[in-house]
Chain A
Amino acid sequence: MMRVLLEVKPRKKPLLPIEAECITPASFLEERDLTVWKGNRELMLSNVFNVSVTGEVDSVDGVEVVLRGETSRIKRVGEYMEGGRIIIEDDIGMHCGNFMSGGRIEVHGNAAAWLGREMRGGEIICHGDAGDYCASGYRGEKRGMRGGRVEVCGNAGDFAGEHLSGGSLIIHGDAGDFPGVEMRGGEIMIFGDCTRACGNMTGGRCHVFGTVHEMLPTFRNMGEVVHEDTGQVLTAFRGDVANRGKGNLFVGNYQYME
């Protein structure tokens, strides 16, 4: 077991974002200089963090990276991560876990936008709220998240699971506008409320146990079903008919606009 503790040092311009895609468990297995970027300046990792490493391992799965301090402006942590663990004690900046394919990220505070963008595998747990575009895709790309699991204990912002094509996204609180928009596969579970769920979906399954406000008129009502795990009665919809969609949307309550 190797434990890497990264404690943020006080910063002169604390609001300027830091890009730190080098923070992955695998990076600390090799002996190499790690650098991060503050705007257009490249800095040593140790310029921004107090770095302490304890223990030794030979496999990435034994590495645990802990981020401590004001990390809400640190971007791209855990990008392309393949194994091991990252624990973020407070909030985390944008693009945490981009392209992640294995391992586990745990965020104890809130996560900014694009949490787990284009994720392939592994697991992200966010104990606070997640920003917009949680578990989504890249601009212009047909497929967003393809595999793995993202669980948000608080609320998620708008466009959660946009272009989702595999894996699962679980939101315990509310989701914002357009969760599952353009989704084509995979699964979304929303335990709270949201608006305009699954616009233009073509495939996949989405459950909203609360209320969908501004329910879109182009989903075909297929009648009521009992959800196996919770026993809750949900209304089943199929759509989006605007687009020959074959997606399944199950909702606790729904209201059309007006």
Chain B
Amino acid sequence: MKFDDVLCPFCGCLCDDITVTAEGGRVTGVDNTCLLGTSKFLGDNRLKNPIMRTDDGWKDVTYDEAIASTLDALLEADRPLLYGWSGTHGEAQCIGVHMAELLGAVIDNTSSVCHGPSILAIQEVGHPGCTLGQVKNRADVIIYWGCNPTEAHPRHMSRYTTYADGYFLDNAFRDRTVIVVDVRRTETAELADVFVEIKPGGDYAVLSALRAMVRGRDEMIPDSIAGVSKEQLRHIVEICKNAKFCAVFFGVGLTMTRGKYKNVRNAIELVDELSRHTKATITPMRGHFNVYGSNEVNTWMSGYPYAIDFCRGIAFYNPGETTAVDILARKECDAALIVASDPAAHLPSKCIRHLANIPVVQIDPYPNMTTAFCNLQIPVAVSGIDAEGTAYRMDGVPIRLRKVLETEYPTDTMLLGRIYEAMMEVRGR
């Protein structure tokens, strides 16, 4: 069977033009995907059934047993952590927030180790952004700062920027100027008209200088900043000020270096400053296909995009205190539910050591690093392959994930729904 216009559940590009062929309960072919999407659709390494850790290995358990065991672990805890959420659909994320509220848990998503700092920056200065189609149709200057779309968002340049057809551009590729700013010459940098190589940790200083230069304070800027010559900075300022539409994209190059959200804030304020001269927008290159959805869901349900502590009943928010890395590293939780992410592959080892010492339940279709650190893993359908639901693209556009396979696996919504209902029975309304 052939399905057109399927969504790719991999990265924040959320491409929705994929053709998928499925035969005999498996995906047998895909078209239009990048390598990342292809591997996800064709991957076939699912966990077959729930597994539970025993004293000397692993045993298979039923879904009923798994749910009962999950309840025990979470209801007994004084400070459970519910972490992950970016690899599932919005409907499941909603149940997660209700669950956190009922349990008095901390709920955090993977944006705390991805674009969490961007959110902190936005909370200080706001976010002049747009949907990706605005960029595609109008932007004549594209800046990629601290990101590497060729490896992390492979179709970004062909769908939305450099190579995309645009209504107001005669020849998109020729008419656009692409500037890449990074600490190394990535493959993306090879495709740029201008490559700015910056010393690691120097982004903040360079962004401050650019802001001052856009404001006409050129004279006080030293000849070189963090390895970038003033001449090159001047050139960039000229390109941006003369642009009709300047679109900045930034990645975790800004959020993961020292200074974190201050780097992002400085980039946003540069765009604010440019907005006084021309049209300028800025967009974070969100990683997982629905990490932004998790922020959206958390926000309308609880008021905050991530790192929400419901221990006292009300929602309390303070990244740095209520974020997963901090809680795990300080050993401040006594049980964890991991949904649709793999912290053991992506968090510092001190966090993982704590996971090894507390009850951990993981809900995920695939065996992963966290499998080795959980007491129980419950496999589910894969969102976007055998489960439907809502996902939010990196620019906030919500699209419905399609389903191309029938499945015996429960979806995240079904499984979490059952767990939540069972919790309500115990805790009461």
Contact = CB atoms under 8 A, between A and B. Distances in A.
Interface of A: 13, 15-17, 19, 37-41, 73, 94, 113-114, 132-133, 139-140, 177-178, 181-182, 196, 199-200, 214, 216-218, 220, 240-244, 256-258
A68 B103 CA distance: 32
Given A16-B79, A17-B332, A242-B211, A217 B259 contact: no
B334 A39 contact: yes
Contact of A40 (B105, B204, B217, B224): B105
A240 B319 CA distance: 26
Contacts of B208: 199-200, 216-218, 240, 242
A133 B205 CA distance: 21
A37 B205 contact: no
Contact of A177 (B77, B202, B211, B258): B258
B220 A241 contact: yes
B319 A139 contact: yes
Given A177-B258, A242-B269, A243-B211, A38 B78 contact: yes
8 contacts: A15-B332, A38-B78, A39-B79, A39-B334, A40-B312, A113-B320, A200-B265, A257-B199
Contacts of B212: 217-218, 241-242
Interface residues of B, number: 47
A180 to B, nearest CB: 12
B262 A178 contact: yes
Contacts of B220: 217-218, 220, 241
A40 B311 contact: yes
Contact of A139 (B201, B266, B310, B317): B317
A94 B224 contact: no
Given A199-B208, A217-B212, A242-B209, 5 more contacts: A16-B333, A139-B319, A217-B225, A242-B208, A242-B269
B226 interface: yes
A255 B258 CA distance: 18
B331 interface: yes
Residue of A177, A242, A243, A258 with most chain B CB atoms under a 10 A cut-off: A242
Given A17-B332, A218-B220, A41 B78 contact: yes
Given A15-B331, A139-B120, A178-B259, A218 B199 contact: no
B123 interface: yes
B219 to A, nearest CB: 10
Chain A contact residues: over half helix, strand or loop, or mixed?
Answer: loop
A244 B79 CA distance: 45
Interface of B: 77-79, 103-105, 120, 123-124, 199, 201-202, 204-205, 207-209, 211-212, 215, 217, 220-222, 224-227, 258-259, 262, 265-266, 269, 310-312, 317-321, 330-334
A217 B221 contact: yes
Contacts of A114: 318, 321
A140 B199 contact: no
A223 to B, nearest CB: 14
Top 6 nearest A-B pairs (CB, nearest first) are: A40-B104, A39-B79, A39-B78, A140-B123, A242-B211, A242-B208
A254 to B, nearest CB: 12
A39 B76 CA distance: 12
A243 B205 contact: no
A244 B272 CA distance: 13
Contacts of A140: 123-124
B78 A13 contact: yes
A164 to B, nearest CB: 14
Given A133-B320, A139-B120, A240-B208, A258 B78 contact: no
Contacts of B120: 139
A188 B124 CA distance: 21
Contacts of B202: 257
A79 B259 CA distance: 28
B321 A39 contact: no
A73 B330 CA distance: 10
B258 A40 contact: no
Contacts of A132: 320
Given A199-B208, A218-B208, A257-B199, A94 B311 contact: no
A243 B269 contact: yes
A182 B123 CA distance: 14
Nearest to B318: A139
